[in-house]
Structure 1
């Protein structure tokens, strides 16, 4: 009998030793983060920064819960309230029309966010296009306008608002900040990060300018859009100086301006009530940031301004 050739010889079946269990991912160890001394210094610095940023907010909230028999300042003051009470929060709603102030602030915020999104995205999209003359000059003018502080143009802005008859109106509060140069440049940087090949393929498929802007550029710059929304919300909600100049009547005051009346002697200045009013004004900003922080940090890195 002729022997089988090497190619025709039956191969030995691999020996099976049973089903292998998948390896568990290795948990990080302390040594992976650096030396113990460096790790301790790093965490101490983080705790120091955390205390500086979050500490005043926590102290303010705890002070608003104190009763009238407890001191807010002084040698006898303590950090934790001995008898927590919501009396200060009830006093805020009793002394000033908080609901009216909140509604006015919401109107200004909605107008500001809408206009910022509309003009910053469209202007940033146009600045990201290289096929038109004067693009660089417009970009330089926008960047140069950021060098002037608001106080340097405040008087001229007020004269313009007065000539338009918008004093003591929410439109007069919103109009000077309907678009910001920093948001335009932020959206420009986000749109520049979109690969040119994607737009070329969309043009080959027959997509027009508006379709490319809506279905290609806007979804790619979602993180930068959230940065614009958060920054605009915080700026419009916390603005105090410009509403103080423009607004006159109590029915048109925003929340930050209206709550400042709690410090006047006509309401019997109470530090706990002032603290409670400050906490009320901060809560919407914190809620918005905690909801959108994932997109915020992503947009800060993806939508960085490119020079």
Structure 2
């Protein structure tokens, strides 16, 4: 009986893949395991990976010392609100730049792309001043409105819209359809993969953001789960790593659940992207 030969390249590729996978999953494993360690084991040297005495004290402290339910709800409202508005405004701007001919379109596109080179930290002070003048500090309007549109999202959707065939657009215009009708009934249904991809990126980016909600909210009840964890820092800047890891674990669980819920639709959308 002839045994199938295993190519050395296949073995090396498998080993390399397993090594990369282990390197990627190691930080997540440390977060999960440290969240269930008592303080004595978290601060022990040399450190250990597996807890000797499993405990829920770190998770209990988060619930007891923070308005946990409110912080999670705020995170959903902040990240979800930004995602919803960004999809609307980014897609409208991208449609105009990709499918409508008007004077100055190229100049406007260059200006939008140029804003990607400006770090958002450089605009924090003027944006905060504007939000403060409007009386939007410690409000969801102040958190969401400055991020309601994004240059990356506009450019990303524009490139996708350019790849869609124009035959349906032209046929609809001949039948008397308005630009808004073409956008809503023709372009958007064919852009589901791009919209879903942008939605995932936008939601995850804002859910994990620490600096933005930390600056634009000063009240404990208006924080998000990421900014709320900073309240657990002890006197003198002492960081309770076990509690922080438990908080990080709690913060990523909704993202994992959300991805599991949409992964099938996401994969199907990507798989059918090239089908016209």
| Number of corresponding residues | 271
Q: What is the alpha-carbon distance in structure 2 between the residues aligned to residue 105 and residue 281 of structure 1?
A: 9
| 1:269 to 1:152, Cα distance in 2 relative to 1, 3 A | closer
Note if contact 1:227-1:295 (Cα within 8 Å) is conserved in structure 2.
no
Aligned-residue offset at 1:220: 0.8
Counterpart for residue 54 of structure 1: 25
Q: 1:175 aligns with which of 122, 132, 145?
A: 145
Task: Go from structure 1 to structure 2 and tell me whether the alpha carbon gap of 1:71 and 1:129 turns closer, same or farther (over 3 Å shift).
Answer: closer
- Which deviations, in whole Å up to 9, do the C-alpha atoms of 1:170-206 show, x marking residues without a partner? 3212222111000011111111111112223333444
- Secondary structure of residue in 1 paired with 2:141: helix
Contact 1:225–1:299, Cα closer than 8 Å, also in 2: no
1:132 and 2:125 correspond: no
Tell me which residue corresponds to 1:274: 244
Name the SS of the counterpart of 2:99 in structure 1: coil
Name stretches of at least 5 consecutive residues in structure 1 with no aligned partner: 1-29
SS where residue 172 of structure 2 aligns? helix
Q: Does 1:197 align with 2:167?
A: yes
Aligned-pair distance for 1:83? Answer: 3.2
Q: What secondary structure, in the 3-state scheme, does the structure 2 residue paired with 1:213 have?
A: helix
Partner of 1:186: 156
CA contact (8 A) 2:37 2:242 kept: yes
**2:72 equivalent among 102, 110, 119:** 102
Ranges of 4+ aligned residues in structure 1 off by more than 6 Å = none
Asked if structure 2 preserves the Cα contact closer than 8 Å seen for 1:190 and 1:302, the reply is: no
Preserved CA contact (<8 Å) 2:35 2:243 = yes
Query: Which of 17, 27, 37 does residue 66 from structure 1 map onto?
Result: 37
Question: Which of the pair is proportionally richer in helix?
Answer: 2
CA distance in 2, matches of 1:300, 1:259: 39
Give the Cα–Cα distance (whole angstroms) in 2 for the partners of residues 73 and 260 of structure 1.
Answer: 23
Instruction: Report the 3-state secondary structure (helix = DSSP H, G, I; strand = E; otherwise coil) of the residue aligned with 1:42.
Output: helix
**Structure 1 residue 226 corresponds to structure 2 residue 192:** no
2: CA distance, partners of 1:73 / 1:292: 40
> What's the CA shift for 1:43?
2.4
Query: Secondary structure of 1:176's partner?
Result: helix
Q: 1:151 aligns with which of 107, 121, 138?
A: 121
Equivalent in the alignment of 2:12: 41
Cα pair 1:113 1:232 within 8 Å, conserved: yes
For 1:12-32, what per-residue CA distance to the aligned partner results, in whole angstroms no more than 9, with x for missing partners?
A: xxxxxxxxxxxxxxxxxx87x
Counterpart Cα distance in 2 of 1:241 and 1:95: 21
Q: Secondary structure at the match of 1:114?
A: helix
Out of 230, 239, 243, which is 2:209 matched to? 239
Instruction: Say which structure, 1 or 2, has more relative contact order (CA 8 Å, 6+ apart).
Output: 2
Name the SS of the counterpart of 1:171 in structure 2.
helix
TM-score normalised by structure 2 residue count? 0.88
Decide whether the 8 Å contact of 2:214 with 2:227 is kept in 1.
yes
